[in-house]
């Protein structure tokens, strides 16, 4: 049955969603997600105690996480019933942000499969508006609150205010679409200060989300700084910055299977260099159960994806969980 749903979704994606202009495809997809109670249909999830994963001391029913992109709590609530072991919010900023003008997301067909390039620019209603909405959200699975700032004060305000509403907090210092957030990777000393202060301020475990564009500096300076600051979870990582003349900013973040080899390499190198001193969320290009199995085997604590949710549909999580359960049953 899951195979049939996956095949039908492919027809829908290739025939309709993939052909509509991107803004209409996004509006259509999100309207369907809000309107139809997919989360009440058991086929989209699978509970099995063998899949339980502990991340930063928080128990996840399984190691599959929806990566940061949605702030709408109707969609986050829906996603919590779609097989994910945890769900991440879009990165919230202190003030409302309209995001970059359209076109701010385009599809790409790479040799590895369908992907996206976005220059969303953190379109979100800002801290004050999002807080009551998150406070009203029921956590069917753990919620990871993602935050993005340009100064240490931004991060402190965001974490103090939003951390109590989530189960974990993800500190995004890596989105390539706003200069000041992306620049954190070139200021490791300041970043260490940010992480240290957040470590004291946050009542929830912290995750630092890194950019695949700074592998060397991540390994040499940023991860050691995070560890010294007491951060024990690294999400590796965000989109890869590329030129894309169709976007309003002429540049954006590439996501989808083209970046999977870098995700795997960064995971392997980080695990080798830092051993069990940290927990790793591997993100970037995951769109099949095989890729998840590979990442977990290579030392990922959990695996997250966003583009695969769009290109392969909401059934992908269940397909992954089936493969993981089958593999664990053989052990």
Nearest CB to ligand FMN, comparing residues 63 and 308: 308
Distance separating alpha carbons of residues 131 and 129, to the nearest angstrom: 6
Select 48 or 96, whichever has its Cβ closest to ligand FMN: 96
CB of 305 to ligand FMN, least distance (A): 3
Whether the CB-CB separation of 303 and 63 falls below 8 Å is answered with yes
**Smaller CB separation from ligand FMN, 94 or 283:** 283
Q: Which of residues 247-306 bind ligand FMN (CB under 6 A)?
A: 255-256, 259, 283-286, 305-306
User: Which listed residue (46, 78, 90, 107) binds ligand FMN by CB under 6 A?
Assistant: 90
The site string for ligand FMN over 144-183 (x = CB under 6 A, - otherwise) reads --x-------------------------x--x--------
CA distance 37 to 32: 9
Q: Give the dihedral of Cα atoms 101, 105, 106, 108; nearest 10 deg.
A: 150
**In the block, which residue shows the tokens 């890596």?**
174
Q: What is the dihedral of CA 155, 97, 136, 49, to 10 degrees?
A: -70
Residue 68 interacting with ligand FMN (CB under 6 A): yes
| Nearest residue (CB) to ligand FMN, 202 versus 238 | 238
Q: Which residue has the tokens 């979704």?
A: 9
Nearer to ligand FMN, 6 or 48 (CB): 6
Alpha carbon 130 to its chain's center: 18
Binding-site size, ligand FMN (CB under 6 A): 27
Which residues, in sequence order, are CB contacts of 167 under 8 Å at separation 6+? 58, 86, 139, 142, 143, 144, 204
Stretch that binds ligand FMN, among 42-50, 118-126, 135-143, 197-205 (CB under 6 A): 118-126
> How far is the C-alpha of 293 from the C-alpha of 136, rounded, in Å?
35
Residue number with CB closer to ligand FMN (60 or 247)? 247
Among the listed residues 33, 76, 116, 191, the single contact to ligand FMN using CB under 6 A: 116
Closest CA to 66 of 43, 47, 83, 91: 83
Which stretches of the chain bind ligand FMN, using CB under 6 A? 67-69, 90-91, 105, 116, 118, 120, 122, 146, 172, 175, 209, 238-239, 255-256, 259, 283-286, 305-308
């Amino acid at each position: 049955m899951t195979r049939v749903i996956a095949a039908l979704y492919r027809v829908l994606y290739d025939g309709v969603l993939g052909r509509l202009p991107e803004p209409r495809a996004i509006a259509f997809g999100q309207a369907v997600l809000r309107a139809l109670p997919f989360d009440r249909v058991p086929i989209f999830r699978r509970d099995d105690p063998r899949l339980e994963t502990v991340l930063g001391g928080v128990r996840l029913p399984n190691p599959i996480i929806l990566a940061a992109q949605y702030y709408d709590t109707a969609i986050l609530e829906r996603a919590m019933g779609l097989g994910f072991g945890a769900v991440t919010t879009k990165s919230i900023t202190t003030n409302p942000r309209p995001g970059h003008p359209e076109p701010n997301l385009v599809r790409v067909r790479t040799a590895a499969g369908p992907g996206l390039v976005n220059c969303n620019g953190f379109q979100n209603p800002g801290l004050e508006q999002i807080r009551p909405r998150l406070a009203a959200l029921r956590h069917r699975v753990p919620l990871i609150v993602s935050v993005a700032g340009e100064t240490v004060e931004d991060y402190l305000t965001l974490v103090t205010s939003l951390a109590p509403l989530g189960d974990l907090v993800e500190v995004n210092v890596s989105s390539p679409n706003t200069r000041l957030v992306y620049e954190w990777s070139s200021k490791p000393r300041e970043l260490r200060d940010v992480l240290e202060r957040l470590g004291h301020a946050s009542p929830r475990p912290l995750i630092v989300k890194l950019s695949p564009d700074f592998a060397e500096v991540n390994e040499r300076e940023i991860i050691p700084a995070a560890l010294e600051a007491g951060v024990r979870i690294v999400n590796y990582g965000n989109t890869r910055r590329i030129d894309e003349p169709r976007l309003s900013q002429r540049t954006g973040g590439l996501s989808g299977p083209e970046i999977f080899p870098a995700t795997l390499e960064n995971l392997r190198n980080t695990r080798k260099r830092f051993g069990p001193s940290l927990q790793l969320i591997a993100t970037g290009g995951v769109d099949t159960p095989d890729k998840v199995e590979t990442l977990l085997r290579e030392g990922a604590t959990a695996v997250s994806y966003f583009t695969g949710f769009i290109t392969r549909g909401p059934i992908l999580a269940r397909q992954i969980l089936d493969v993981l359960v089958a593999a664990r049953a053989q052990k």
